[in-house]
Chain A
Amino acid sequence: MNDELSTPLWLLSPLAVLGASLMLALVIGLTLQRFRIPKLYGAVIAGLLLGATGAGFIDSALLTQFQELLNGAAALVLFEVGRKMDLAWLMRSGRQGVSLLLGTILRGIAATVTLALLGLPWGAAIFIGSILIAVNPVIFSSMVADENASGTSTFATANMVGLSNFVALLALGVTLAWTRSRGIGEHGDFGSELMRQGGKLVVGAAIAGLSYGVYALATRLCKVPATLRPGMLLAALLIDLGLCSVTAASALLSLLLMGVLLRNVEKRDNVFQAQLKTAQDIGYVLLFLMSAALVDFRQLLHGWTILAALAVFAARILATRLALWPGSAWSMRKQNAMALSMCSLVSYGGLVVDNTLNAYTGLDPASTAVMGALLALNVLLAPGLTWLGLHLAGETYRGGSQ
């Protein structure tokens, strides 16, 4: 009987595969860190070794089994992004807030125009451009945590990550409605599609309000310092995520809003520090491992898509740098650093945080290929450039004497 099994037993357990992958990512990452190479590259290498590029142990089918777990990891990351959004500062800091908003919008426009100039249909270019507004929260948050970055440009960039995801989500709602209304298959007209996408956002916002209310009530019933109640926060985040899942609401908006509410509405002792840090650290590795696993490196070697992806990457960085020009709070060096730190991008699945990690399937083959190349480059290049940006800003710290 045993002789008939050609696959090792542990490979039949998706949980064991996931655990082994995580272990490999951490071992490689922590080893790399000793040589001052970003830890996140451990996840990249593990993902490439075990995913589509390498052994093929991790694929979409396996990830589907862990959708809830991955969504949970995403929840922690997105909540953290929302928690870093300082609305009062964004609205009252004048040039600073305006330049960050401008950077967000210009980044999308620059990506769209570049893609169109490269020959993609305008519809696809706008659709991809709306996704490319967003900065990848996993890459940025993970790098900030690993490099112990703290300072004014890190603060501003963290605000921009939240802002960019929020704006990208709104833009995607419109472009998705437009694309679906004209795409292959069954979908309705633009108006009804827009209502459907808008409805997801409204329900997501309502769920955030409800979950935050539950959390606020729980903390007031049990008057203990914030350091003693991380479990309550985790519970509220899970409620939020679960409700978004069953109602098909926008989990990204909902979790972002949870963070924003905690940061900006809650007044008394709302400041959570390291309580969720360990979980977040694992979340970063897990999510990035999966992203890397889905990259088929061989695709990059074909055709013009790699050049197109590089052009879009460069256009986004330049557009962000241009938009930061009016900001008086940051020196030229910090502005350059911030533009680099905000180079990463997200996938369609990363913005939607729903039951699919796969790319949107309604695009033409050329656009799909470019998006694939962009995501591959994002996995390979963005952690390094973000790391470089944080170091260029001079806001990283390793302790000890200077």
Chain B
Amino acid sequence: MSELMNDEALARLKDDAQAQAQAVSGQGPAHLPDFKESTVGTMGIELELMVLDRLTYDLFPAAPDILRLLDKHDKPWVHTPEITTSMLEVATAILTSFDEAADQLEHIRTTVQQAAFEVGASISGGGAHPFQKWNEQRIYPKERYFASERKFGYLAKLFTVFGMHVHIGAGTPDEAMRLCAWLTQRAPLFIALSANSPCWQGEVSGFCSSRSNVVGAFPMSGILPYDIRTWDDFRAHFDELAGHGIVNSIKDFYWDVRPKPEYGTIELRVLDTPLKPVYAAALACYARELCLEWADQPGRWPTSTSRELYIWNRFNAARDGVEASFIDPETGGSLPAAEAIRADLARLAQRSRDPGFGRACAVIEHLMKDGGQARWLRAHLEAGGGMNDLARMASELFEDGAPLG
């Protein structure tokens, strides 16, 4: 009997996955899978990486070849294409600590770098390529991406930006909605810490994270509406939008923090891909510890429901990086983002059960030195480096493997 149940459950899961895949590719009806139960505080990290020409350090359409080589590797993490052929995405297995995350990301770095070198390319972190031209990018030859291009026009190519997504196990579907609301409030701090895209289409943009502004062009960008408090609320919201033909799957929500039902996680999506893998591990652990802290306060919701306050914090963080000011939505007080981050880290360090969290805090402290990653890049420009050289510098930072750089 239990074997039969298992078979039934497996078949249901398979059907669900198929329906989801068809909805995502636009080939089937709208579908929102059931929220999968998960362990609170587990995490996964997705990185979108740049594929670069080894001569000019411009974007290089070699992702299909690199992915073909990565297919031959037996590894605990996965690799997938992205919307254009100069991008590739890697995603870790489920992780539970900073050390595990740092080790796996380092393995990813060396493996991807080796595959890229084999085909004559370089790999780099960073949220936006400093001088690529959006109209020169080539859509990845896959129906899903062609459908995106038909739907979004030039925005599809403009979306050649490189983000880091952090998945955090949320436990139950309703708890996922509550943690989404909390993490959304703190999302600007992650924009500030990860900001490393000071140039856009060959110009200094005046923003530390130019990438953050690109996402805003999509109609379903933004944040989880504050009135959604349960999974059923979210499902009703999804059904309404699907009824209008606005969304077809969870992937159509470009929210800064969104639930990811098939993984049982919430997904923080605001970060620029860091310049070094270890930065990604540290930032993911920061997000995870915040979620664990909120998970220990059941039933508590953020007090502020001001969308404008969030947008203002987000704008400041994208413009000024770790030197931004931050209005704490809970207290209403304005303070430097770096101060808010340090206060969070000090509080979280007291309660963290991750033996590596202290090291993660040290990495984050490093990320706030000298104005953070975006300022480091700007300093290189101010010292006389050109845009190509900036891309080279970022690539060498990513590829050198030294822990902090």
Contact = CB atoms under 8 A, between A and B. Distances in A.
Interface in B135-155: 135-136, 138-139, 141, 146, 149-150
Nearest to B68: A331
Contact of A397 (B57, B62, B138, B384): B138
Question: Of B58, B69, B118, which is in contact with the most chain A CB atoms at under 10 Å from its CB?
Answer: B118
A296 interface: no
A272 to B, nearest CB: 8
Interface string B73-93: 000000000000000000000
B388 A152 contact: no
B326 interface: no
Contact of B65 (A89, A151, A159, A227): A151
A269 B388 contact: yes
A269 B386 contact: yes
Given A271-B55, A273-B56, A401-B149, A151 B61 contact: yes
A66 interface: no
Interface in A77-117: 83-84, 86, 89, 92-94, 96
Contacts of B54: 86, 89, 155
Given A86-B55, A151-B65, A330-B65, A268 B389 contact: yes
Interface string A320-341: 0000000011110010000000
A226 interface: yes
A156 interface: yes
B388 A402 contact: no
Nearest to B389: A269
A89 B117 contact: yes
Given A269-B386, A330-B65, A399-B135, A156 B146 contact: no
A395 B388 CA distance: 22
A152 B386 contact: no
B225 to A, nearest CB: 33
Nearest to A263: B55
A43 to B, nearest CB: 26
Contact of B149 (A328, A331, A402): A402
Nearest to A85: B55
A273 B54 CA distance: 13
A223 B384 contact: yes
Contacts of A94: 118
Contacts of A394: 141
A349 interface: no
Nearest to A268: B389
A268 B385 contact: yes
A56 B65 CA distance: 48
B187 interface: no
Interface in B94-134: 117-121
Contacts of A151: 60-62, 65
A150 interface: yes
A86 B136 contact: no
B136 A225 contact: no
Interface in B369-405: 384-389, 392
A330 B69 CA distance: 9
A93 B55 contact: no
B50 to A, nearest CB: 15
Contacts of B392: 271
Contact of B120 (A86, A227, A273, A328): A86
B118 A96 contact: yes
A136 B206 CA distance: 46
Contact of A93 (B68, B120, B139, B150): B120
Interface in A368-402: 394-395, 397, 399, 401-402
A268 B118 CA distance: 24
A271 B57 contact: yes
Interface in A205-223: 223
A401 B154 CA distance: 9
Contacts of B65: 151-152, 329-331, 334
Question: Of A83, A93, A151, A268, which is in contact with the most chain B CB atoms at under 10 Å from its CB?
Answer: A151
A156 B120 contact: yes
A271 B135 contact: no
Nearest to A150: B61
Contacts of B61: 150-151, 395, 397
Contact of B118 (A93, A273, A331, A397): A93
A328 B115 CA distance: 10
A7 B69 CA distance: 64
Interface of B: 53-58, 60-62, 65, 68-69, 117-121, 135-136, 138-139, 141, 146, 149-150, 384-389, 392
Given A225-B384, A397-B136, 9 more contacts: A89-B54, A93-B118, A96-B120, A155-B60, A263-B55, A271-B389, A328-B118, A329-B69, A397-B138
Closest 9 CB pairs of A and B: A225-B386, A271-B388, A269-B389, A152-B119, A155-B120, A329-B119, A152-B65, A269-B386, A329-B118
8 contacts: A150-B61, A151-B60, A151-B61, A151-B65, A223-B384, A225-B387, A271-B57, A397-B136
